Amino acid sequence: MGYVIDPPRQATLPIEGTEATFPIRRIYCIGRNYADHAIEMGHDPDREPPFFFQKNPDNVDVSGDFIYPPHTSDVHHEIEMIVALKSGGRNISLDDALSHVYGYGVGLDMTRRDLQGQMKKMGRPWEIGKAFEHSAPMGPLVPAEKIGHPDAGRVELKVNGDTRQTGDLNQMIWKVPEMINYLSEYYELAAGDLIMSGTPAGVAAVTKGDVMVGTVEGVGEISITVV
Ligand code: MN
Cβ-in-10-Å burial (0-12, 13-18, 19+) of 41 comes to: middle
Question: Contact, 75 vs 47, CB < 8 A?
Answer: no
Instruction: Quote the percentage of the chain above a pLDDT of 70.
Output: 100
Mean pLDDT, to the nearest integer, of 205-227? Answer: 98
**What pLDDT is stored for residue 147 in this prediction?**
98
- Ligand 1 centre to CA of 157 (Å) is 13
Query: Model-level pTM?
Result: 0.96
| Low-confidence winner among 38-52, 105-119, 167-181 (lowest mean pLDDT) | 38-52
**What pLDDT is stored for residue 40 in this prediction?**
85
- Ligand 1 centre to CA of 222 (Å) is 16
- Ligand 1 centre to CA of 5 (Å) is 34
Give the whole-angstrom CA distance, residue 91 versus residue 188. 8
Number of C-beta neighbours around residue 23 at 10 A = 11
Q: Categorize the per-residue pLDDT at 133 as very low, low, confident or very high, splitting at 50, 70 and 90.
A: very high
